[in-house]
Amino acid sequence: MTVERALPRRVAVLSVHTSPTEQPGTGDAGGMNVYVAQTAVRMARRGIEVEIFTRATSSEQPATVELAPGATVRFVAAGPFEGLGKDDLPSQLCAFTAGVLRAEARHEPGWYDVVHSHYWLSGQVGWLARDRWGVPLVHSAHTLAKVKNAALAEGDTPEPRVRLIGEDQVVAEADRLVANTEIESKQLLELYDADPNRTVTIPPGVDTDRFRPGDRAAARAELEIDADALVLAFVGRIQRLKAPDVLLRAAAELLARTPSLRGRLVVVVAGGPSGSGLAEPTSLHELAAELGITDSVRFLPPRGGDELVSVYRAADVVAVPSHNESFGLVALEAQACGTPVVATRVGGLPVAVAEGRSGLLVTGHDISDWADALGELVFDPARRERMSGVAAAHAHRFSWDRTTEALLGAYDEARAAFRHRAGGSR
């Protein structure tokens, strides 16, 4: 049943380091981009004006882009247009904040009703905007530095101290903290001393109008993959955190165990370098050659829309071997297409995957364990078929409409609490 909310008129959404207009799967674009875009569009459909502020990364970008009627992306000039990574952006937060405040200053006081920041960099800006505008700050972390540092991939660089301090500050200041799962909520409480009365769990969703079961043969024909191939797929950013190398190593192990798979097993890797992967953009190609499986691996650039759907549909199994995931939208999208998932038992993946029914969870990154799990499904088509139906049904439990409705509830509660603390009404 839909609960009647006191809907905000206008929401300022902050996404400093990555724009919802960017293609997920490369650079810093990933599940957060999907989250921001999907919820903004659905709020706009409810008659709420949504303005998304993000950093301009090209001199050719327009000042604004309409994401959908009522949802606008504003590109704020802050520092050099190109060549800045996330670790460089703290030095540009003053410039970004000034741009956001100037945009609001062009309107009458009280233009925005809520500020919703995504990722800690945006939270720093949102904290200042909240105080300047006299409206509540709702914050979504998406990933947490203390959690990432506790589960680093071998050779990966820990998150810097400036982020640890910044996250602590935002957690202390936000009027509502939105966690993707109960696990993340617990991490906020235990690792960041978050106020449980200001912390709410709202799972992300999946666009089931787009991501749904379809013609596997047609998807494979589009990707030029044989109809009778056994297809394992990885979708996402190419970086150590996401651990695509685990899939390649496990595939090599499967081929060593069962040489007859050679020529039939296909590993699809769809994504581009990001984070630590930018320093070694050809590392996966080199690993495939080192493992002797170059002929079995297909590398694809990041794909969106129907092209991404085709990758999910073409796969027999989608692997999500990440060292950390606050939720794991790839797992949800794959299952919505009827494709079972093998994922690491970390973060929100035990929520995104119904273990034993829509996919399998692997503890850790031991290659033998991953080969065992993938092999369970590769060699059992009947089990894959059973999981396929369950996977689609499981994914349908999550929707962006539900996520958006819950966010509007959090906004309403934050506004009420903010007014109460301010001792007045607005």
Confirm or deny that 8 is annotated as ligand binding: no
Query: Binding site annotation covers 17?
Result: yes
Residue 158 is labelled as binding a ligand: no
54 labelled as ligand-binding?
no
Contact 260, 295 (CB under 8 A): no
43 marked among binding-site residues: no
- 256 annotated ligand-binding residue: no
* 348 marked as binding residue: no
Residue 112 known to bind ligand: no
33 is in an annotated binding site: yes
- Rounded distance, CA 198 to CA 107, Å? 30
Q: Is 29 annotated as a binding residue?
A: yes
Rounded CA-CA distance 60/205 in Å is 32
Say how far apart CA 234 and CA 267 lie, in whole Å. 8
Does residue 20 have a known ligand-binding role? no
Tell me: is residue 186 an annotated ligand-binding position.
no
- As given in the structure block, the two tokens for residue 83 are 């060549």
180 is in an annotated binding site: no
154 is in an annotated binding site: no
Q: Do the annotations mark residue 416 as ligand-binding?
A: no
| Residue 86 in marked binding region | yes
As annotated, the binding site includes 17, 23-24, 28-33, 86, 119, 143, 163, 237, 242, 303, 312-313, 315, 325, 333, 339
Q: Enumerate the known binding-site residues for UDP-N-acetyl-alpha-D-glucosamine.
A: 23-24, 31, 237, 242, 303, 325, 333
Residues annotated within a binding site for Mg(2+): 312-313, 315, 339
Query: Which parts are annotated binding residues for 1D-myo-inositol 3-phosphate?
Result: 17, 28-33, 86, 119, 143, 163
